[in-house]
Chains A and B, each alone.
Chain A
Amino acid sequence: MIRTDNLVFEYIRRDEEGNVEGITRAVDNVDLDVKPGQFIAILGHNGSGKSTLAKHFNALLYPTEGKVIVDGMDTSDGEYLWNIRQEAGMIFQNPDNQIIGQVVEEDVGFGPENMGVPTNEIWERVDESLRAVGMLDFRKSSPNHLSGGQKQRVSIAGVIAMHPKCIIMDEPTAMLDPNGRKDVIRAARALNTVEGITVILITHYMEEVIYADKVFVMDKGRVTMEGTPREIFSQVDKLKELRLGVPQVTLLAHELKKNGLPLPDGILTREELVEELKRIKNVANT
């Protein structure tokens, strides 16, 4: 679905006369391969280059070196620009700054309007995408009266209405409260499992990552770790080095193990930990 080959992106800082002051390598030799239908998570602390990387998938930024291929189309090739943007939708961090319409349904219709979809079909698409994110009851509301989580779900509906094959979410939950965060992640997972849309979730909340098929950890523009959530979270110390936390349950299990309990690495959910602890208790009793 999305492939990058030796992707490099450099920000060039210039002084007031336009002379080059310095070059910052935001993305450094990244090779990724995302298969259709996967749920991918990209982790990294602030300034690790994850947002810059995300903007390449949607042809909002072009590689300085290397290539980004979206569904067989090279993003540097201007001919496919609009096809790429339609196939790879993007959700941004601030819900207020990406809603264009003054009424929810009009905002959802904005993408299809731009693509030149006929009027009847726009209405069908708006209905189905608002239903998919559970916001159909709010179709006539003004976005200003919605909560952050609801606004972010409207943004997701706006992208689904363009019938993308892939959705890139750039820290969609960073400005939301815990409830809104849960709703947004639930909507994203539903799209992935029900509609089969590839999801690339960029985040620094570890709890959101545990359901991903594959996790990439970024640091200083490079991909430093990749693997399943279990593989990644079994390396608690390495993650700490990268200034990233792990889910609370995983951390608890890790600390317990360090203090002598025979627990396996990479426990992700509360249920798993409870099961393991029960097992240990039974073994100790016999």
Chain B
Amino acid sequence: MLRDITLGQYYRTDSVIHRLDPRVKLVATFVFIMSLFLVKNFWGYLIAGVFLAVCIKLSNVPPKFIFRGMKTIFFLLLLTMVFNLFLTPGKELVSFWKFTITYEGLKMASMMAVRLVFLITGSSIMTLTTTPNNLTDGMESVLGPLKKLHVPVHEISMMMSIALRFIPILLEETDKIMKAQMARGADFESGSLINRAKSLVPLLVPLFISAFRRAMDLAMAMEARCYRGGDGRTKMKPLIYKKRDRIAYGVLYSYLLVAIVVGRILFR
């Protein structure tokens, strides 16, 4: 049934990575992505690869789940590689008809590919090991300083968590409306793509109306329970750094240092 769908792609198991504070994981993902753009040579990428492999191993998530995310970017990956391979000027390696593959092109293409694969893998580890709920909490906390710039951080994270709560409910509702309309002869499954898209319009109108009605009800229920924005609010589950989180930060920053030294300075 629709109510059993999992949101995001959280993989339920227990591991060191799962237990880390979501803030650590957010910062780590950001730092890792940064490091990918800072290193310039093979040795740097090797270090990044080893770091990633260790994280995957520690996370207890079967590798096939991690690489499933790769399918979605396969075409992007292919396109980037083809363009880089054929369009980079430099020393000629192979040449046929109008195309030439250069030494620089080959290097560029493989670098881009590795970069993309690492980037996607790195961020999937975060989403696979953190519940959406935890992730929103972490975001609110990491983005906290932006409050000074009048960015409504608390409101954004509240909106995200409410959206997460209501996605299954609205999906179920869509299902109900679809069945009700199918019972009266509506056809959602045959015809051309355009026809099928058109048949969704009468589905969306009642869905929107009901979503707005729900939003109004929910706003009233929240007000009735004394909700008045983020000021003066306490947390039932506050985020507190533990020893393992501090160690993780230490490991992370030493990785960044080593990657930069090896990838940029030691080997040019």
Taking beta carbons and an 8 Å cutoff, which residues of A are in contact with B?
58, 60, 82, 85-86, 89-90, 92, 94, 96-103, 105-106, 109-119, 122-123, 126, 143-145, 158-159, 162
State which of B108-116, B141-149, B161-169, B196-204 sits at the interface with chain A. B161-169
Does B223 lie at the interface of the complex (its beta carbon under 8 Å from any beta carbon of A)? yes
**Which residues of A have CB within 8 Å of B132?**
102
CB < 8 Å neighbour of B224 from A90, A106, A116: A90
A94 to B224, CA, bound (A): 14
Interface SS majority for chain B:
helix
Is B250 engaged at the interface, CB distance under 8 Å to the other chain? no
Q: List, in ascending order, chain A residues with CB within 8 A of B217's CB.
A: 92, 94, 97-98
Please, which residues of chain B bring their CB within 8 A of the CB of A110?
222, 225, 227
Tell which of A96, A103, A123 has the most Cβ of chain B within 10 Å: A96
Residues of A within 8 A of B165 (CB): 99-102, 143
Interface positions of B from 126 to 146, Cβ below 8 Å from A: 132-133
CB atoms of B234 and A113 under 8 A apart: yes
Residues of chain B within 8 A (CB-CB) of A100 are: 162, 165, 218, 221-222, 225
Report the separation of the CA atoms of residues A111 and B228 in the bound assembly, to the nearest whole angstrom. Answer: 11
One of B52-60, B78-86, B97-105, B235-243 at the interface:
B235-243
**Contact across chains for A119 and B238 when beta carbons are under 8 A apart:** yes
Query: Which of B165, B168, B225 is the most central at the interface, judged by chain A CB atoms within 10 Å of its CB?
Result: B225
- With contacts A94-B217, A123-B236 taken as known, whether A144 is within 8 angstroms of B226 at the C-beta atoms is no
Given contacts A96-B214, A100-B162, A162-B225, contact A144 B169 (CB under 8 A): yes
Given contacts A114-B233, A116-B234, A122-B236, 4 further A-B contacts (CB under 8 A): A96-B169, A97-B218, A110-B225, A114-B227
Instruction: Assess the B234–A98 pair: CB atoms within 8 A.
Output: no
Nearest opposing residue in chain B for A143, CB measure: B165
Residues of chain B lying within 8 A (CB to CB) of residue A122: 234, 236
List chain A residues, Cβ under 8 A from B164.
Answer: 102
Chain A contacts of B168 at CB under 8 A? 144
- CB-CB under 8 A from B3, the residues of chain A are 144-145
Q: Smallest CB-CB separation from A93: which chain B residue?
A: B217
Binding site for A on B (CB under 8 A): 3, 132-133, 161-162, 164-165, 168-169, 214, 217-218, 220-228, 232-238
- What chain A residues lie within 8 Å of B162 (beta carbons)? 100
Contacts of A106 in B (CB 8 A): 133, 236-237
Q: Does A114 lie within 8 Å of B221, measured CB to CB?
A: no
Residue numbers in B under 8 Å from A116 (CB-CB)? 232-234
* Overall SS of chain A's interface: helix
A261 to chain B, nearest CB (A): 47
- A159 proximity list for chain B (CB < 8 A): 225
* Inter-subunit contact B236/A114 (CB<8 Å): no
Min CB gap B82→A, angstroms: 43
Cβ-defined contact, B224 with A113, below 8 A: no
Q: How far is the CA of A111 from the CA of B161 in the complex (A)?
A: 16
Of all chain B residues, which has the CB nearest A101? B165
Instruction: Let me know if A119 and B234 touch, CB within 8 A.
Output: yes
Query: Known contacts being A101-B165, A144-B169, is A112 close to B222, with CB within 8 Å?
Result: no
Residue of A nearest to B158 (CB): A100
| Residues of the A chain whose Cβ atoms lie less than 8 Å from the Cβ of B133 | 102-103, 106
Other-chain contact of B226, A94, A96, A109, A115 (Cβ < 8 Å): A115
Contact of B218 among A98, A109, A114 (CB under 8 A): A98
B161 contacts A85, CB within 8 Å? no
Q: How far is the CA of A99 from the CA of B224 in the complex (A)?
A: 12
Looking at the assembled complex, report how far the CB atom of B177 sits from the nearest CB atom of chain A, in whole angstroms: 15
Closest residue of A by beta carbon distance from B173? A96
Bound form: Cα–Cα A105–B236 in Å: 9
- Nearest-Cβ distance from residue A229 to partner chain B, whole angstroms: 28
Q: Which residues of B have CB within 8 Å of A126?
A: 236
Once bound together, how far apart are the Cα atoms of A194 and B267, in whole Å? 76
Tell me if B236 and A60 are in contact (CB < 8 A).
no
Instruction: List 6 A-B pairs, Cβ < 8 Å.
Output: A86-B226, A97-B217, A100-B218, A103-B133, A113-B236, A114-B228
Tell me the complex Cα distance, A100–B136, Å.
14
Contact call A89/B236, Cβ cutoff below 8 A: no
Interface centre among B218, B224, B227 (most CB of A within 10 A): B224
A97 and B235 in contact (CB under 8 A), knowing A102-B164, A111-B226, A114-B228? no
Chain A residues contacting B235 (CB-CB under 8 Å) are 113, 119
CA gap between A211 and B220 in the complex, in Å? 29
| A73 nearest CB across to chain B (Å) | 14
What residues on B are CB-neighbors of A89 within 8 Å? 224-225
Shortest Cβ gap from B262 to chain A (Å): 43
